[in-house]
Structure 1
Amino acid sequence: MSILIKNATIVTMNPERDILKGDLLIEKDRISRIGKLDRCAADMFIDARNQLLLPGFIQSHVHLCQVLFRGMADDLELLDWLQQRIWPLEASHDEESLYCSSLLGCAELLRGGTTSVIDMATVKHTESVFTAVKQAGIRYLGGKCLMDHGGGVPSALLDSPDQALHESLDLFQRWHNYDNGRIRYALCPRFAVSCSDNLLRQAAALARQYHIPVHTHASENRGEIELVERERGMRNVIYLDSLGLCNASLILAHCIHLDDDEIKILTASQTNIAHCPGSNLKLGSGIAPIPTLLRMGARVSLGADGAPCNNNLSMFMEMRLAALVQKPFHGPRSMPAQTVVETATLGGARAMGLEDEIGSLEEGKKADMILISLDGWHTRPRNAAGVYSQLVYQAQSSDVTAAIVDGRLLMKDGHLFSIDEEKTKNAAEASLQRVCRRAGLR
């Protein structure tokens, strides 16, 4: 299958950050040519006049398993949010409800221009998540949530370390590098509060042995940090580093409350920091010191986190918030629009370990890209601002007109080709009622 995209404004995100007027040819799963392609045959043509063509957004921290619970845990801080609402709901998932939640999330993500995610599933039924992302066509890195410890954790979410890691290894062997590498596996210990020292040490050893990325949370909430210090005798990042986890294969969500030593560890180790400004504001957790981290050379990417702590999965919302929340504290130039777009594309590619494959539009790279219309009232006049400003401050999820992953057209002009949207919406409503009854929540 070949696709020729004509007459686009191509936001390449290449090392020179070139912005070109021209065409792009996709052959199979790769970008074949970029330029003025007047005499070029293809199986499909897309006229992208008055549209931006750019790499698909890469969200480096989401919970597809929680999409079903959108709006069910408002106005709570992190530990109450988990113990009173999210953990009971996750513990009540069945195979079908988890599949519906994941598919619902993939539909929203693809419609909003996100073509790749780093996900953390829940403890049970993880096969359902992989089945959903297989169908949806989105690029995926994630795995089973690991939990064996902690107050307020439902028994259905507690595994023994041996059972948790045995199941994880089985899933890794079945799904890692599935579909020519579109789906990959990550070990996902939830966070130090709900993982014993034994489980984290075994997970670190397994990650080293099999070269598996690790995706977890740290330093999101002051109460969480106090618990970790009380139980482990040190702060979050220092503790994770003592286990050998801080490295370029670790994706660490949030990193809000850091001291100077932790910032140095994250920077020196090239740990991937997944910044989730929408979630951090809604839970009242705080604002991560992103300008400081970037200035010191840290690897920063963006994610929406879970739907119940954000209520949408829009990268446009996250980009806008990432830019705006820093300005009152660090000045109006602290997070330029171009820097924000880099975190949403190149930063996410690094976090996935795929910077040589995705995150920019360059010949030979994977054909993961989106088209964004500039015809809306909120994007006029078209030439009043640079494209990075348009993307961060003006564009919306509804402006995305096409999404392509691995050279496959998954969405065009409002129509998703890989997901039956009405069937998914109806199944999600029925699944939520079933899960809520089981959890004793309404």
Structure 2
Amino acid sequence: MSSILIKDALIVTMNPNRDIFRGNILVEDDTIKAIEKDIQRIVQIFDLNTSKVIESRGQIVIPGFIQSHVHLCQTLFRGQADDLELLDWLKKRIWPLEGAHDHDSLYYSALLGIGELFRNGTTAIIDMGTVNYTESNFQAIITSGIRAISGKCMMDSSDIVPDSLIESTGESLQKSVDLLEKWHGSDNGRLHYAFAPRFAISCSEELLIQVRDLAQKYNVKIHTHASENTTEITLIQQERKMRNIVYYDHLGITGKNLIMAHCIWLDDKEMEILRQRGVRVVHCPVSNLKLGSGIARIPEMLSKNIHVSLGSDGAPCNNNLDMFTEMRIAALIQKPLYGPTAMSAKQTFELATLGGAKTMGLEKEIGSLEVGKKADLTMIDLNKIHCSPSDNVDIYSQLVYQARSSDVTLTMVNGRVVYEKGNLTTIDEDDTIKQANIATKRVNSRIGLS
């Protein structure tokens, strides 16, 4: 049994009482075994001679961030698809690049993304892979130690999807089921599978119906995009004769196991469907701004008790995977529309922690620091000039409006330290950067990019 003691930290628990206090956290194996204000209470119960001791010296410990929508397969394409709207971004750059991936390029793309996520305190993700080589994605997840829901992207129907990514309906379904049966629950449940039809534009109705039935059969999530862009809405209305959310509801796909990224362009009927069905909405504010897609009506969703969490989306439409940036922008962009009290710092921080846990269906295991939950946590040093003075400052305001990813000093997933004091511990950072640069040149050459 391995033990880690974090001493003298300011603990932001996110427990039901939202307790914040200076104290100590004892981790045994993958679980939080004790949280105590008085170190002697831990000393009396546990043998600390076998523990690794981390002296926090008053740093802040929070639940690890949970990014509810990312594309690890796209990290390799950062900076190569800027200043484009969604469909041009996909058709001209992202889809050709995804279609040019190989086993190794996808592996290092995923590893590069995970390394960045660890450095900014993210401990869990909901990831959408690309169509091919999904096992490379999964291998990077297992090797690195991140907690994830991930799945093979599914696309079987569209004139705009390149041949390198289009599949037959049967092939897409069979490959997805094969991956699910091999990888779902891997590494003691740290990796879960989700069916990932990209969006309605690129998926046949037959595929979507089969995904609905298979997700119910295997009791797994469905992860997709919806209502991100006005052109997308127009195309769906022309092809399927319904608005996006109405169409998914018509097919019987909407429910608590459905994770929908974006949901910007909704009418009131669609908003009500999300509320009634318990659909999990993922807000990606930086991506939505960069692609010019729009601003989702998040305060209205929250007022209707629609469940919302946060994600960075892919590196080429962001261009980073930093939850501190997502929280700050998520809070700020709503204030000109709904007033300065909209999206408070505390509410925004909840979306990045407990909100993500609920979206993953893991709220009983992660998202807060409580005895018996998994030891997924992040340590942050706010004793910096950009966070001073700190007296009488609300801690959530500090975390959302002032903190930066460079302030993260430790990230732990499942009781395993994956980042500490500037160094990744499960990823060879220098080699990953080197291999990613080599892979980028190789992938680009396949589609005629220098």
Report the TM-score when normalising by structure 2.
0.97
Deviates more, 1:151-160 or 1:295-304: 151-160
User: Which residue of structure 1 aligns with residue 28 of structure 2?
Assistant: 27
- Residue 404 (structure 1) aligned to one of 408, 412, 422: 412
For 2:299 and 2:67, how far apart are their aligned partners in 1? 19
8 Å Cα contact 1:50/1:374 also seen in 2: no
**Alpha-carbon distance, 1:50 to partner:** 2.6
Q: Compute the displacement of 1:283 (Å).
A: 0.2
Q: Describe how 1:250-265 pairs up with structure 2 within 5 A.
A: 250-265=258-273
Question: Are the counterparts in 2 of residues 13 and 55 from structure 1 also a CA contact under 8 Å?
Answer: yes
* Cα offsets for 1:157-214 (capped at 9, x unmatched): 0111111111111111111111111111000000001111111111111111111100
RMSD: 0.8
1:155 is aligned to 163
User: Hey, what does 2:427 align to over in structure 1?
Assistant: 419
1:7-86 equivalences under 5 Å are 7-35=8-36, 36-38=38-40, 39=43, 40=46, 41=48, 42-86=50-94
Q: Which residue of 1 aligns with 2:225?
A: 217
Task: State the one-letter code of the partner of 2:73.
Answer: C
Q: Which residue is equivalent to 2:182?
A: 174
The CA deviation at 1:43 is 1.8
Distance across 2 between alignment mates of 1:351 and 1:72: 30
Letter in 2 for 1:67: T
Alignment of 1:307-326 (within 5 A): 307-326=315-334
Rounded Cα–Cα distance in structure 1 between residues aligned with 2:391 and 2:333: 26
2:336 aligns to what? 328
Paired residue type of 1:7? D
Q: Which residue of 1 aligns with 2:124?
A: 116
- Cα distance in 2 for residues equivalent to 1:77 and 1:151: 18
Query: What are the residue-to-residue correspondences of 1:97-108 with 2, within 5 Å?
Result: 97-108=105-116
Does residue 338 in structure 1 map to residue 346 in structure 2?
yes
**Does the 8 Å contact 1:110/1:403 carry over to 2?**
yes
- Among all aligned residue pairs of Structure 1 and Structure 2, give the percentage whose two residues are the same amino acid: 56
- SS of match in other structure, 2:130: coil
Aligned residue runs from structure 1 range 169-318, under 5 A: 169-318=177-326
Partner residue of 2:146 out of 135, 138, 143: 138
Letter in 1 for 2:252: G
Give the Cα separation in 2 of the matches to 1:249 and 1:17. 27
CA contact (8 A) 1:253 1:275 kept: yes
Q: Answer with 283-292 or 376-385: which moved more.
A: 376-385
Query: What code does the residue aligned with 1:426 have?
Result: K
Question: Within 5 A, what are the aligned runs for 1:374-385?
Answer: 374-385=382-393
How big is each residue's C-alpha offset from its partner over 1:261-319, in whole Å with a ceiling of 9 and x where there is no partner? 11011011111100000000000000000000000001000000000000000000000
Within 1, Cα distance between the matches of 2:393 and 2:39?
27
Q: Does 1:431 align with 2:439?
A: yes
Shift of 1:384: 4.2
User: Distance in 2 between the 1:205 and 1:440 partners?
Assistant: 40
Give aligned pairs, total. Answer: 442
Structure 1: runs of 5 or more not aligned = none
Q: Deviations over 1:70-119 (max 9, x none)?
A: 01011100000000000000000000000010000000000000000000
Q: Secondary structure of 1:357's match?
A: coil
- State the partner residue of 1:392: 400
* TM-score after normalising by structure 1: 0.99
**Which letter does structure 2 place at the counterpart of 1:69?**
F
- What stretches of structure 2 of length at least 5 have no aligned partner? none
Distance 2:173 2:383 in 1: 50
2-structure distance, mates of 1:383, 1:248 = 41
- Offset at 1:49? 1.6
What code does the residue aligned with 1:37 have?
A: I
Secondary structure of the structure 1 residue equivalent to 2:164: helix
User: Is the 8 Å Cα contact of residues 23 and 34 (structure 1) preserved in structure 2?
Assistant: yes
